Amino acid sequence: MTGLMLRFGLGLVLAIALLPASAAAEPLVPHFRDTRQRLAVPDTSDIQRLRFLTTTDFFPFNMLDERGNLIGFHVDLARAICRKLELEQRCQVQALPFEELSEALQKGDGEAIIAGIAITGESRSRYDFTQPYFQFPARFAARRDAAMAEPLAESLKGKRVGVLTGTSHEQMLRDLFPGLEIAPFDTERDLVRAAREGDVAAIFADGVRLSFALTDEEAAGCCAFVGGPYYTQEYLGHGLAIATRPDQPLIGQALDYALQHLEAENAFSELYLRYFPLDFYSLSNP
Half-sphere exposure of 116 (CA within 13 A, CB side): 18
Cβ atoms 235, 164 nearer than 8 A: no
Name the pLDDT band for 40 (thresholds 50, 70, 90).
Answer: confident
Sheet (strand 57-58) strand order: 57-58, 62-64, 70-71
Name the pLDDT band for 282 (thresholds 50, 70, 90).
Answer: confident
Mean pLDDT in residue range 195-214: 97
Q: Tens digit of pLDDT for each residue in 44-97?
A: 888 999 999 999 999 999 999 999 999 999 999 999 999 999 999 999 999 999
SS3 (DSSP) at 142: strand
Name the pLDDT band for 286 (thresholds 50, 70, 90).
Answer: very low
Strands (E), the chain: 50-54, 57-58, 62-64, 70-71, 91-95, 112-113, 128-129, 138-143, 160-164, 181-185, 202-206, 223-230, 243-244
Q: What is the pTM of this model?
A: 0.85
Domains of the chain: 3-26+138-230 (3.40.190.10), 50-135+237-265 (3.40.190.10)
pLDDT at 21: 35
